[in-house]
Amino acid sequence: MTNPTVQLALKSLANLLHLRGEGLNEILASFGAESLEIFQYQSLGEGQFVAKLGTDELYLSVEPSVELAEEKNQYAFPRGDAAFELSGNWKALLSEVCIYDFRQCRPGDFLMVSIAGISAWLLIPESDKPLILGCDPTYGHYFQETLIKQIEKSPFLKTELENDD
């Protein structure tokens, strides 16, 4: 996208996994992320990350994959989520497609919200970094088309642009 206010790009995330089971803190510790709170993520560099979704639930993108402990009933489910990178004034764009109050979020938060009618996850970045967001792969095409259409046609985003000037 070429809109100077906000830009959308496809993002490739390696080996996305959804982990469920007991004793997942040990896996977190293996990434040096044992202090993560629920609904926070830690960047592992090179686009990789680990997010804590609950006491028995992790979401991560790591290469190579993790080793599971069968005795702890640990399950790993691969995910093929469509992922995107939103840079610029992404909050202005999302305010048109998402009800969430982004004033509440802080860098390092892992959010799960509804965007344009579908479930999506967000990695809240530092203020000058792009937002990473993803959704079920079967909605990826719709998600991308919808955001692009919004970027191209939104009068609110044009207003933001004028204000920036």
Partner 1 sequence: MKLRLAPQPLEWIDRKSSVSFTFEGQTVSGFKGDVISSALWAQGRKVVGRSFKYHRRRGLLSFANHDINALLQAEDRPNVRADVVQAEDGMSLTAVNTFGSLASDKGALVEWIGKFLPVGFYYRAFYSPKFLFPKWERLIREMAGLGKVNTDWSEERKPKRYLHCDVVVIGAGPSGMAAAIAAAKQGVDVCLIDENPYIGGSLDYQYVNEDSQQLNRKYLKETVESMPNIQVITSSYVAGYYGDHWLGINTPDGLIKLSAQAVVVASGVFEQPAVFRNNDLPGVMNASAAQRLMARYAVAPCKEAVILTANPEGYRAALDLHKNGLVVKAILDTGKTAGESVVQAKSAGIPVFENAVLVEATGRKQLQGVTFEVGRLQHHLSCDGLLMSVGWAPAGAPLYQAGAKFGYNYTLEQLLPVELPEGVFACGRINGVFEIEDRIKDGEQAGTAAAQTVLGKEALAPVDYTAKSAHSDPYPIWPHPKGKEFVDFDEDIQIKDLKGAIAQGFDNIELMKRFSTIGMGPSQGKHSNMNGIRILAKLTGKTIDQTGSTTARPMFHPTPVSHLAGMRFRPERLTPLHSFHQQRNACFMEAGSWLRPEYYPTAETREASIAEEVSAVRNSVGLIDVSTLGKLEVFGRDAGELMDRLYTMRMSNMNVGASRYALMVDETGVVIDDGVAVRYSEEHFYVTTTTSTSDSAYRLIQKKVIEWGLKVTVLNRTGQIGAMNLAGPNSRKILAQLTDLDLSNDAFPYLAMRRAQVCGVEATLIRVGFVGELGYEIHTDSQSALKIWASIMEVGSEYGIKPFGVEAQRLLRLEKGHIIVGQDTDGLTNPFEANMPWSVHLKKPYFLGKPSLMKLKTLQNRTLVGFELLSKAHKDMPLESNLLIENGAMIGRVTSIGRSATLNKVIGLAMVETAFSEENQVLKIKLTDGRFVDAKVIKTPFYDPQGLLQKPDESNEGEAA
Q: Does 139 bind partner 1 (CB under 8 A)?
A: yes
Choose the stretch contacting partner 1; rule: CB under 8 A; options: 2-10, 32-40, 60-68, 137-145. 137-145
Beta bridge pairs of residue 45: 48
On the question of a cis peptide bond just before residue 64, with omega within 30 degrees of 0, the verdict is: yes
Q: Does 11 bind partner 1 (CB under 8 A)?
A: no
Q: Taking CB under 8 A as the criterion, which residues in 86-105 touch partner 1?
A: 95-103
Q: Does 76 bind partner 1 (CB under 8 A)?
A: no
35 or 112, CB closer to partner 1?
Answer: 112
Beta bridge pairs of residue 115: 118
Q: Which secondary structure element, helix H or strand E, spans residue 18, and what is its range?
A: strand 16-20
Q: Does 75 bind partner 1 (CB under 8 A)?
A: yes
Check: CB of residue 77 under 8 Å from CB of residue 136. no
Q: Does 4 bind partner 1 (CB under 8 A)?
A: no
Distance CA(3)–CA(151), nearest Å, equals 7
Distance CA(119)–CA(54), nearest Å, equals 18
Q: Does 161 bind partner 1 (CB under 8 A)?
A: no
Note the residues at the interface with partner 1 (CB under 8 A).
18, 20, 73, 75, 77-80, 95-103, 116-118, 136-142, 146, 149-150, 153-156, 159
